[in-house]
Structure 1
């Protein structure tokens, strides 16, 4: 199992469109993928789970990946969430 702390760099955070793309990317991997924000754990493969986290620009979250492609999954999803850096708080 791998874990990584990530800072959200998307200017709009993870709103509907970016959340849908994020979940779509997560579903390309076989590993079990979760994110943790303020003690709330959500599957990165669930649009409702990701949207319920209300992820805003500059927030810190924890990614976990467990499975055969965990390293590639973390790299890909970290790159996605950290792109387009906003004015970090």
Structure 2
């Protein structure tokens, strides 16, 4: 299992469109991927779960991945969250 603290640098935070893209990124991997913020922990592959977090820009989160491609999953999620322009 890999766990990493990350900061959301997407200017709009994780609202509808960025959440949908993040779920697509996470869904490319076989690993289980979870995002934690404060007391909440949600599956990064669940669009409804991710929307329930309502994460603003600048928020610190903890991303954990567990599985055969966990390293690649963490790297690509961090790459997406640190991008200052949306893909």
Tell me, in whole angstroms, the C-alpha distance in 1 between the residues paired with 2:70 and 2:39: 22
What is aligned with 1:62? 62
Unmatched segments (≥5 aa) in structure 1: none
Q: State the 1:30 CA deviation.
A: 0.1
Root-mean-square deviation (CA, aligned residues, Å) is 0.9
Report the TM-score when normalising by structure 2: 0.95
What is aligned with 1:44? 44
Q: State the 1:5 CA deviation.
A: 0.2
Report the TM-score when normalising by structure 1: 0.93
What is aligned with 2:81? 81
Q: State the 1:82 CA deviation.
A: 1.2
What is aligned with 1:3? 3
Q: State the 1:39 CA deviation.
A: 1.3
What is aligned with 1:19? 19
